Amino acid sequence: MVSEAIQTVPVGRIGMVMATIRQRIAARSLVAGSRLPSVRVLARSMQVSVSTVVEAYNRLVAEGAILSRPGSGFYVASQLAPLELSALEPKLDRAIDPLWISRQSLEGDESVLKPGCGWMPASWLPQQTIRKALRTVSRGSAEALANYGSPLGLPPLRQLISRRLGERGVEAAPDQIMLTESGTQAIDLLCRYLLEPGDTVLVDDPCYFNFQALLRAHRIRMVSVPYTPAGPDIDALASILAERRPRLYITNSAVHNPTGATLSPVIAHRVLKLADQHGLIIIEDDIFADFEHAPAPRLAGFDGLNRVIQIGSFSKTLSASARCGFVAARPEWIEGLIDLKIATMFGGARLNEELTHAALSDSGFRRHAAALRVRLERARREASERLREMGVTPWIEPRAGIFLWCRLPAGLDSADVARIALASGLVLAPGNAFSVGQTASGFMRFNVAQMDDRVFEALQACLQQALLSHSDKEHAPSAQ
Amino acid sequence: MVSEAIQTVPVGRIGMVMATIRQRIAARSLVAGSRLPSVRVLARSMQVSVSTVVEAYNRLVAEGAILSRPGSGFYVASQLAPLELSALEPKLDRAIDPLWISRQSLEGDESVLKPGCGWMPASWLPQQTIRKALRTVSRGSAEALANYGSPLGLPPLRQLISRRLGERGVEAAPDQIMLTESGTQAIDLLCRYLLEPGDTVLVDDPCYFNFQALLRAHRIRMVSVPYTPAGPDIDALASILAERRPRLYITNSAVHNPTGATLSPVIAHRVLKLADQHGLIIIEDDIFADFEHAPAPRLAGFDGLNRVIQIGSFSKTLSASARCGFVAARPEWIEGLIDLKIATMFGGARLNEELTHAALSDSGFRRHAAALRVRLERARREASERLREMGVTPWIEPRAGIFLWCRLPAGLDSADVARIALASGLVLAPGNAFSVGQTASGFMRFNVAQMDDRVFEALQACLQQALLSHSDKEHAPSAQ
């Protein structure tokens, strides 16, 4: 009887039940040792037959994923449950899932249009400088070519970074600077160093979407503070610090990602007072520093690297291919970070450090950076005009950087627009991918360096398509 | 009265009390909210005056590290307690602390003699090949110089690795291979992916000492299985798997670190049978693969990358400066690892991947690797002879690789010898740094590529000094 049932039930439904159970195990909503729903209960809730569930459970037992205790039920086996970031709660719609968007941008080839990505096209970066640096390093010492880097990292590069930080008002001795693989890896190391499971971390709303993916990997609770054109909303910040007691606050100061806003001195001071009051540590992500014409206030500058930690990298203005980032912090924290770096990566990437140093020391780099700022200013202005013509309105006109954070017309939902766009090979960055509080469904981030005529045309077409299907739903409840 | 006491108590003792309390907080033996020892109890146990402890506690209150609850006592403040690897239990004697030994080797300049380190001198690595690869890449495309790497990593390099794995009997399609920053970072990612806090991991005894530092960073319990000249002790392995139920086993097969032993086919099969029985995942660290003349059995080969994961890198035979490693695993695990890689590092280091690919494709590399194997064979033979003359006896004569794992003469304790050596600028690798079970105090690991006449002379002198002070202690309890 049962075997006939198996033959007539499409594999599809059995597979669906199995996948559902596996998903709950992967997302850790069913943990090792916990009892699975009874066969009848699951059959009813999934609207399949009891024999489908029986077969699915039996196959899961054969796989070792669950155990059967006769008379008692089915239980999750004490089994390997790898950390599947894409399966963790909250399960995000792909169109606004930071991880999924990142993968689309990173995996796409040159034919994929990506005004949603966070980096400039290769042609905007200082190619000649990088080529020259490679040739310089090819003539370097055998040790530079072959040996592990020292734990803190190449001394001349740390001295160079120390000088550059000084130009931005941040005092950091070379030995308070530790080189890392990238800005992202610097923040990751800091999270491993400073946080314990169950801690809460504060981010801006909106914020750089990979912070969210990173914090998911640390199984950390995230809370957010609304961002204004001059920095975080101070009253909201005061409440959140008092109620939620986050351990850490991760933010940008000079060029906020995604809004392009700049932290004002007044708000900087108030943030630091609140941080002192509540024992808050701040990680100030300064990877867009080279995009500024004149330096804006840095939290690390006012604070003197007491409770503020600065991180930076050269991925945005030099090369994302020759990975090099850094942390600047109190000496005792640098000490502890060195140990963690050795344990998890052993030695540094000396070749990348030599390359970066050679490139940054080249006079061509400063000239290139100056020309880049001019080019970006023009690109922001032009993109702003063309977007406004389409009814897409920048929230502010940033004074530096590659991003425009814009409101879509007519109450459109940016996740809908992003989905439509993907079907035509256009990768967009919808607002809620940046928003822990999911308050930005009407917004989208645009990268002005990735926006040529093809992109504007494709965007126009997607907006029109979205407007059509939106007006069809006009009498339906708002998607926001 | 109290202020007079402060003036007469040397700052030294107050500082000592404060340091002791801070240390216990850092090591998490005093956690946030827990009550500190009463003033009298601590004064008695540390043999200082009550007023010293009072002053120390008051200063810690002023610092915010502890709070005073009048009538109740002093409590640890709910404060930041960074993950200080060097402060975690068990607190290891520096001379055998993996982290400390690694730092000495990585921070030391060319004048520091380091027969205890795990890499070859720069002059032994294929410099011309690396220089040529740098020039080649300097003429590459703008995208190669500037863009983020794809998440899996440069396709031609993964194809090359796939072919090389095939030559060693390991079948891995290019898309089952994910490039990483290094072998260490590959293992670190795998630990984040596969393990949960409180899990147990099995390693060999002895094993590569940075595994221990890495597992400390993951707050994982370690157990170990004794290693024989042909692989892990199978009977011991069977007991440990049944009793301690480790989630993961990290090991080498072809050239074991530190012993140089080679896994036999018989033991390989038995290991895999036990792994199947107990649901054990195995990480097979194959970074010494290029040192072999003829390929030994690989667990991943027999297992078909089902429950075995292979990791590798080119730090030992190409360059530790141009960081590049890889993971080869089941497709579904690679999928999950990609997400974790993006979240914690964003894009790969494309330049390093291009460099590594160019270098490995160069015919000069294979010639160099062949010559290197010959050179190492001679170096092992010569070092073995000279060590035996000093009464230092290799446990086995390895068929490949850079290490000799040797027993010291006359019951000497290798930590003692290592301490004496450090005073003369000689960094040694004492046995217990490699031994979770602390069973190797009579052993030491030597790197034959780092042993010239100066090293043998210095070693001879240290051994003589150690023998003298050992015979002074002959009637004292054995240090072992």
Task: Determine the Cα–Cα distance for residues B314 and B129; give it in Å rounded to an integer.
Answer: 13
Digit-coded pLDDT (tens) for B196-251: 878 999 999 999 988 988 998 898 899 999 999 999 999 999 999 999 989 999 99
Most confident option among A63-77, A101-115, B226-240 = B226-240
Q: How far is A10 from chain B (nearest CA, A)?
A: 25
Classified as helix, coil or strand, A309 is: strand
Task: Determine the Cα–Cα distance for residues A152 and A179; give it in Å rounded to an integer.
Answer: 6
Among B115, B50, B4, smallest CA distance to B449 is for B115
One-letter amino acid for residue A350 of the chain: R
Is 60 exceeded by the pLDDT of residue A6?
Answer: no
Is 90 exceeded by the pLDDT of residue B2?
Answer: no
One-letter amino acid for residue A321 of the chain: S
Question: Average model confidence (pLDDT) for chain B?
Answer: 89
Task: Determine the Cα–Cα distance for residues B248 and B256; give it in Å rounded to an integer.
Answer: 18
Classified as helix, coil or strand, B293 is: coil
Most confident option among A89-93, A106-110, B280-284 = B280-284
Between the alpha carbon of residue A422 and those of residues A118, A416, B216, B447, the distances in Å are: 17, 10, 43, 55
Is 60 exceeded by the pLDDT of residue A360?
Answer: yes
Task: Determine the Cα–Cα distance for residues A448 and A117; give it in Å rounded to an integer.
Answer: 10
The neighbour count for residue B142, using CB atoms within 10 Å, is 16
Q: How far is A389 from chain B (nearest CA, A)?
A: 32
Record: contact B181-A99, CB cut-off 8 A: no
Record: contact B145-A80, CB cut-off 8 A: no
Nearest-CB residue to B103 (from A110, A192, A342):
A342
One-letter amino acid for residue B332 of the chain: E
Residues of A whose CB is below 8 A from B319: 145-146, 351
Terminal alpha carbon distance of chain A: 50
Task: Determine the Cα–Cα distance for residues A341 and A322; give it in Å rounded to an integer.
Answer: 19
- Per DSSP bridges, beta strands A231-232 and B66-69 are unpaired
CB B376 within 8 A of CB B448: yes
Digit-coded pLDDT (tens) for A157-202: 999 999 999 999 999 999 999 999 999 999 999 999 999 878 999 9
Nearest-CB residue to A344 (from B127, B188, B321):
B188
Digit-coded pLDDT (tens) for B411-430: 899 999 999 998 888 999 99
Q: Which of A127, A147, A158 to mutate to test the interface with B (most CBs of B within 10 A)?
A: A147
Residue B7's contacts (CB-CB under 8 Å, 6 or more residues apart) are none
Residues of B whose CB is below 8 A from A311: none
Among B57, B120, B403, smallest CA distance to B260 is for B403
DSSP B438: -
> Residue A27 has which token pair?
């997302």
pLDDT at B435: 95
**What average pLDDT does the segment A264-281 reach?**
94
Predicted complex: ipTM over 0.85: no
Record: contact A336-B135, CB cut-off 8 A: no
Residues present in chain A in total: 480
Q: Is A400 or A6 the better-scoring residue by pLDDT?
A: A400
Residues of B whose CB is below 8 A from A279: 64, 79-80
Residue A80's contacts (CB-CB under 8 Å, 6 or more residues apart) are B194, B247, B279, B281
Nearest-CB residue to A197 (from B148, B197, B352):
B197
Q: How far is B211 from chain A (nearest CA, A)?
A: 8
pLDDT at B78: 65
DSSP notation for B345-410: H-SB-HHHHHHHHHHHHSHHHHHHHHHHHHHHHHHHHHHHHHHHHTT-EESS--SSSSEEEEEPGG
Among B97, B115, B203, B202, smallest CA distance to B405 is for B115
DSSP notation for B454-472: HHHHHHHHHHHHHHHHHHH
Residues present in chain B in total: 480
pLDDT at B358: 96
Residues of B whose CB is below 8 A from A82: 193-194, 333, 336
Beta bridge partners of B423: none
Is 90 exceeded by the pLDDT of residue B82?
Answer: no
Digit-coded pLDDT (tens) for B168-181: 999 999 999 999 99
Count of alpha carbons within 13 angstroms of residue B193, beta-carbon side:
26
Among A182, A286, A217, A346, smallest CA distance to B352 is for A182
DSSP notation for B39-102: HHHHHHHHT--HHHHHHHHHHHHHHTSEEEETTTEEEE-S------GGGSSSPPPGGG-HHHHH
CB A67 within 8 A of CB A77: yes
**What average pLDDT does the segment A217-234 reach?**
94
Is 50 exceeded by the pLDDT of residue A48?
Answer: yes
> Residue B258 has which token pair?
């530190």
Record: contact B352-A350, CB cut-off 8 A: no
pLDDT at A3: 36
Record: contact B138-A139, CB cut-off 8 A: no
A471: Cα separation from own chain's centroid? 33
**What average pLDDT does the segment A339-360 reach?**
93
Among B253, B268, B276, smallest CA distance to B400 is for B253
Record: contact B345-A181, CB cut-off 8 A: yes
pLDDT at B477: 57
Nearest-CB residue to A135 (from B86, B138, B141):
B138
Among A110, A120, A115, A118, smallest CA distance to A459 is for A115
Nearest-CB residue to B99 (from A125, A319, A343):
A343
Record: contact A148-B84, CB cut-off 8 A: no
Task: Determine the Cα–Cα distance for residues A215 and A210; give it in Å rounded to an integer.
Answer: 8
Task: Determine the Cα–Cα distance for residues A249 and A299; give it in Å rounded to an integer.
Answer: 12
**What average pLDDT does the segment A10-19 reach?**
82
Residues of A whose CB is below 8 A from B109: none
Beta bridge partners of A26: none
Digit-coded pLDDT (tens) for B289-322: 889 888 888 999 999 999 999 999 998 889 888 8
Among the listed ranges A59-73, A191-205, A236-250, B285-299, which one has the minimum average pLDDT value? A59-73
pLDDT at A475: 57
Is 70 exceeded by the pLDDT of residue A478?
Answer: no
pLDDT at B321: 87
Record: contact B281-A355, CB cut-off 8 A: no
Task: Determine the Cα–Cα distance for residues A403 and B403; give it in Å rounded to an integer.
Answer: 53
Residues of A whose CB is below 8 A from B134: 134-135, 137-138, 145
CB B31 within 8 A of CB A196: no
Inter-axis angle of helices B453-472 and B414-423, nearest 10: 120
Nearest-CB residue to A281 (from B80, B99, B132):
B80
Q: How confident is the model at residue B3 (pLDDT cuts 50, 70, 90)?
A: very low
- Closest residue in B to A98 (Cα–Cα): B343
Rounded to the nearest 5°, which phi and psi values hold at B429? -120, 90
**What average pLDDT does the segment A106-129 reach?**
89
pLDDT at B8: 42
Task: Determine the Cα–Cα distance for residues B291 and B312; give it in Å rounded to an integer.
Answer: 13
Structural domains in chain A? 2-76 (1.10.10.10), 100-118+372-475 (3.90.1150.10), 127-361 (3.40.640.10)
Record: contact A181-B181, CB cut-off 8 A: yes
Residues of B whose CB is below 8 A from A346: 102, 106, 182, 184, 210
Q: Which of A22, A134, A136, A220 to mutate to test the interface with B (most CBs of B within 10 A)?
A: A134
Whose tokens are 């801006």? That residue is: A204
pLDDT at B90: 67
Q: How far is B429 from chain A (nearest CA, A)?
A: 16
pLDDT at A294: 85
Record: contact A99-B349, CB cut-off 8 A: no
Count of alpha carbons within 13 angstroms of residue A296, beta-carbon side:
27
Is 60 exceeded by the pLDDT of residue A2?
Answer: no
Residue B325's contacts (CB-CB under 8 Å, 6 or more residues apart) are B179, B180, B181, B182, B183, B184, B185, B186, B287, B311, B312, B313, B314, B315
Is 90 exceeded by the pLDDT of residue A64?
Answer: no
Task: Determine the Cα–Cα distance for residues B228 and B219; give it in Å rounded to an integer.
Answer: 28
Task: Determine the Cα–Cα distance for residues A226 and B310; give it in Å rounded to an integer.
Answer: 45
**A-B Cβ pairs (cutoff 8 Å, strict):** 251
Helices (H), B178-255: 183-194, 209-217, 234-244
Record: contact A343-B146, CB cut-off 8 A: no
pLDDT at B89: 66
B351: Cα separation from own chain's centroid? 26
Among A201, A214, A206, smallest CA distance to A252 is for A206
> Residue A41 has which token pair?
């209960």
Classified as helix, coil or strand, A150 is: coil
Record: contact A182-B345, CB cut-off 8 A: yes
Record: contact B346-A143, CB cut-off 8 A: no
Q: How confident is the model at residue A307 (pLDDT cuts 50, 70, 90)?
A: very high
Is 60 exceeded by the pLDDT of residue B147?
Answer: yes
Task: Determine the Cα–Cα distance for residues A276 and A288; give it in Å rounded to an integer.
Answer: 26
> Each residue of B403-426: b (16+ CB within 10 Å) or e?
bbbbbbeeebbbbbbbbbbbeeeb
CB A305 within 8 A of CB A279: no
pLDDT at A128: 94
Question: Average model confidence (pLDDT) for chain A?
Answer: 90
Digit-coded pLDDT (tens) for B96-127: 888 888 888 888 777 789 999 999 999 999 99
CB B417 within 8 A of CB B462: yes
- Per DSSP bridges, beta strands A308-313 and A325-328 are antiparallel
Is 60 exceeded by the pLDDT of residue A16?
Answer: yes
Residues of A whose CB is below 8 A from B144: 321
Residues of B whose CB is below 8 A from A138: 130-132, 134-135, 138
pLDDT at A83: 86
pLDDT at B474: 65
Residues of B whose CB is below 8 A from A143: 110, 122
Digit-coded pLDDT (tens) for B48-80: 999 999 999 988 887 778 877 777 888 887 667
Count of alpha carbons within 13 angstroms of residue A425, beta-carbon side:
9
